[in-house]
Structure 1
Amino acid sequence: MIIDHLDEPLPGSSLLPTPSGVAYTDPEIFSREQSEIFEKLWNCVMRADSLSSAGEWKTVTIGREEIIVVRSRKKGIRAYFNVCAHRGMRVCTSGEGKNKTLQCGYHAWTYALEGDLAAAPNLTSMPDVDRQDYGLKPVHVREWLGYVWVCLAEEPPNFDEAVLGEVRTRFGEVESIDNYGIENLKLGESKTYDVAANWKLIIENFMECYHCATIHPELTEVIPEFADGLASQRMNGEVHGSEFGEEIKGFTVDGSASGFEELPRIAPDQDRKYYAITVKPQVFINTVPDHVIIHRMFPVSESRTTVVCDWLFLPEVIERDLPIEKSVELFHRVNQQDFEACEQTQPSMSSKAYSGGGALVPSEHHISEFHAWWSSQVAVSEHQTKVTV
């Protein structure tokens, strides 16, 4: 299978080409992305405080695998493949729960929250069975920004390089994002979107603002530079915060003041500014002076993606039940507008008219960095891209 992808401008043109439409529609390419990207890199899966006490667990699908994430009594948050070591049945058959142990419903093989095999019928008559070897297969876990991150690879990428490196690219230093104290914020609202579009279209949309004047009237009112097509994410690691309009009081749907305090540790150059980071492969971090918005993407198929968006606020905002509706509504509308555009784009990816791909204008050229990264992850050559699947 051939996918044309060039990383140099078309002759005589300021435009850069995109991958061809098949990259967004082919099930075999999607399967390769699942195995080579999502099953090998760090994925942000849930809020750590959503598992508040020992025994609480949730399941999540990463790539082609279902994972159990559980808060253990002795080792904090742990993660395992949701596969019984005996005959392979799902150990947890619902989305969440709370148990003292994890038990397979087929033959009652029972696992400690720390993963070891704890009990099974007639196990005492089989003293040669190693309870660790026949425990749940573990998944690598990290906690950062108050979220649980997992990696399914046997040898995960270095977290500091793979994840924190993305922050350095967009913020200049990790300490800059630390100013927002995200790990201490509380969830004010969470919305889940079922988007009928390929995950790459969603990332590409988030990385550029060439479309902002067309479909985001509320956002461009709050951040006027977005109307000029200038994205918060800049090319080659340029650190840039997008400034609020002069008359804008807050990052709300009507530009009015939010009614609650700014985050206490933000720096002067973070005041009245919006910053955005893409942490590949599936996280968007959006920061403003008084709250933070985090998107997590979970590709379901070549043409469908689940996106979970969290709005995070200071604990006292949630505890005092201060009104957050106007803050939530702004980016909820942005999400709806963006996802509708992606859904209207997806059908054209299989059109003959798009078989050779599209084009990136100069203000979108940093998306070519994402395309180059994607090509390298799925073993696509740098020029005249070829993928063998």
Structure 2
Amino acid sequence: MNPSTTRADTVAAPPPEPPPGHPGEALPAHYYTDPAVAEAETEAIFAKSWQLVCHESDLPGPGARLTGTVAGREVLVVRTEDGSLAAHLNVCRHRGTRLVSAPEPEGKAIRCPYHGWTYKLDGRLVGAPEARRIPCLDKPRLGLFPVNVESFLGFVFVNLDLEATPLAETCAGLAEAVGHYAGPGLVPVGKHRIHDLADGEEQNANWKVIVDNYLEGYHVPVAHPALMRLLDYGAYTVDVQENYVLFESPLRDKPSSNWTERLYQRLATPMPGLTEADRRVWRYAVIYPNTLIDFYPDHVLAWTALPTAQDRAAIPGGFYTRTGESLRTRLARRINIRIGWETNDEDAELVERVQAGMRTPGFEPGPLSQREVAVGWFARRVREDLEEDTR
């Protein structure tokens, strides 16, 4: 990149508004490869959007706490004494000490490990050792920096923008479509947790390449033989809204030629709370910009794509189910998760290949298929956010 290039120069002028029914335009290659674009996204996208941190089950009772990273800041999320949620920047107002490092036990207060400044769970400063020796100690003005927090579908999201529109409002319609799968009553399955970056996977691609890949089924016939045998590709549908996309694909009636997949087709049984109509369909949702949730008859998988470098991203996530599930549902879930890991490995190779290809001098993406309309939606949203930031 030319040293004289400004950050605004890294964002190309938007393409003309596509005609109705047009899938839109993909992002130019430099959006995935230019470090200046990655830097601009921190404030223009991640600091102004709802970011998935955990599930409510990760904060089981008053005093429970955990941390997540949002736009380069570490956020502390706690369950308060009245059972509600609160979030703060994870930094003491005294000398900037990191307050909480996972894992830490529950407690009625948040105490700085450096000098002992103590805060209520809601962030109010309530104590400082030798307070009389601290001139101008104004406790009401020295509470923890607040962060917007909201539970949606039972998952906990935070937003650094204190004036952000509630997520439930921006995603109106999504809860009605898939809310019967989710909610605070879900329980985790296995060791993986959304907030646990240390135990999560990383992929060698820009976070947008990973989201792009999730946003279309166009590659399924070529890249995912198991999914092609299981899903009715011709009936794969996409519902694009302004702030989310919802996908649906029914399972095939024809038994798979693979015995594992054939066994899953036979065992597929809805979790408690689902209906018979949910037995033969898989649903997927993307909440802009980087929350991805899979709704299966036998479990829910929620994950996110967090940039760790311009060409690398963490993808932490967790599996969830409902209490009271049948043995058939548990067996089906184990098979489904196994198929999912195989698909994930295929996608990890694909996105790494895309990232490598994007670095080819002179390359620019070609036209999108109608099956890639959600990729066009995502590209438009990213361009708009970056352009707004440069203005």
Cα 1:284/1:321, change in 2 over 3 Å:
closer
Q: Structure 2 residue aligned with 1:343, among 345, 349, 352? A: 352
Deviations 1:55-81 (A, max 9, x none): 332111111111111223245322110
Which of 24, 30, 39 in structure 2 is aligned with 1:22? 30
1:106-143 CA distance string (max 9 Å, x none): 32222222211122221145596332321111111111
CA shift digits 1:256-288 (9 cap, x unpaired): 247574134435543411122111111112222
What is the match of residue 196 of structure 2? none
Provide the C-alpha distance between the structure 2 equivalents of 1:142 and 1:240, rounded to a whole number of angstroms. Answer: 24
The secondary structure found in structure 2 opposite 1:254 is helix
User: Is the contact between residue 272 and residue 288 of structure 1 (CA under 8 Å) also seen in structure 2?
Assistant: no
Residue 96 (structure 1) aligns with: 103
Segments of 5+ residues of structure 1 without an aligned counterpart are 381-386
Is 1:45–1:150's contact at 8 Å kept on the other side of the alignment? yes
1:49 equivalent among 52, 57, 60 = 57
* Structure 1 match to 2:186: 185
Change beyond 3 A, Cα 1:122–1:75:
farther
Is structure 2 residue 204 aligned with structure 1 residue 203?
Answer: no
The answer for the alignment partner of 1:132 in structure 2 is 140
Q: Find the counterpart in structure 1 of residue 238 from structure 2.
A: 233
Deviates more, 1:67-76 or 1:200-209: 67-76
Identical amino acids, percent of aligned pairs? 25
Name the CA distance, whole Å, in 2 between partners of 1:242 and 1:42: 27
Q: C-alpha displacement at 1:235, in angstroms? A: 5.2
Partner AA of 1:286 in structure 2: D
Match of 2:251 in 1: 244
Q: Residues of 1 paired with 2:70 and 2:260: CA distance?
A: 33
Report the CA distance between 1:332 and its aligned residue: 1.6
Contact persistence 2:57–2:184 (CA under 8 A): no
Aligned partners of 1:199, 1:65: CA distance in 2, in Å?
18
Instruction: Describe the superposition over 1:83-121 as per-residue Cα deviations: whole angstroms up to 9, x where unpaired.
Output: 1111222222x2331153322233222222221112222
TM-fit CA distance, 1:221: 1.0
Residue 331 of structure 1 pairs with residue 340 of structure 2: yes
Paired residue type of 2:346: Q
For residues 196-345 of structure 1, what are the structure 2 equivalents within 5 Å? 196-225=204-233, 231-234=236-239, 241-248=248-255, 254-257=261-264, 259=267, 261-267=269-275, 269-317=277-325, 322-323=330-331, 324-345=333-354
- Selected match of 1:157 from 165, 179, 185: 165
Which piece of structure 1 moves more, 137-146 or 188-197? 188-197
**Structure 1 SS opposite 2:48:** coil
- 1:186–1:315: 8 Å Cα contact kept in structure 2? yes
Residue identity in the other structure for 2:349:
E
What secondary structure sits across from 1:293 in the alignment?
Answer: strand
Distance 2:83 2:23 in 1: 52
SS in structure 1 at match of 2:139: coil
Q: Counterpart of 2:177 in structure 1: which amino acid?
A: S
Q: Cα 1:239–1:69, aligned 2, differ >3 Å: closer, same or farther?
A: closer
Specify the code of the residue in structure 2 equivalent to 1:368: G
Instruction: Report the AA paired with residue 20 of structure 1.
Output: P
Query: Given residue 384 of structure 2, which amino acid in structure 1 is its aligned partner?
Result: S
- How far did 1:320 drift? 11
Equivalent residue number for residue 197 of structure 2: none
Q: 1:58 aligns with which of 66, 74, 79?
A: 66
Find out whether 1:83 has 2:83 as its counterpart: no
Aligned-partner residue type, residue 71 of structure 1? R
Q: What does the per-residue CA deviation read over 1:11-69, in whole Å, with 9 as the maximum and x for residues that have no partner?
A: xxx99642221101222211221111111111111011112233332111111111111
Q: Secondary structure at the match of 2:42?
A: helix
Give the Cα–Cα distance (whole angstroms) in 2 for the partners of residues 82 and 70 of structure 1.
11
Instruction: Provide the TM-score with structure 1 as the length reference.
Output: 0.83
Q: 1:240 to 1:150 in 2, by over 3 A?
A: closer
| Structure 2: gaps (5+ residues) | 1-8, 194-199
Taking the aligned partners of 1:76 and 1:346, their CA distance within structure 2 comes to 41
Q: Classify 1:193/1:124 alpha carbon distance in 2 versus 1 (closer, same or farther; 3 Å).
A: same
Q: Deviations over 1:217-260 (max 9, x none)?
A: 111111031xx6x75424579976311111359xx951424757
Write the distance in 1 (CA, Å) between the matches of 2:80 and 2:308: 29
* RMSD between aligned residues: 3.1
Query: Residue in 2 aligned with 1:6?
Result: 15
Contact kept? 2:53, 2:158, Cα under 8 Å? yes
Is the alpha carbon distance of 1:328 and 1:281 closer, same or farther for their aligned partners in structure 2, counting shifts above 3 Å?
A: same
State the secondary structure of the residue aligned to 2:104: strand
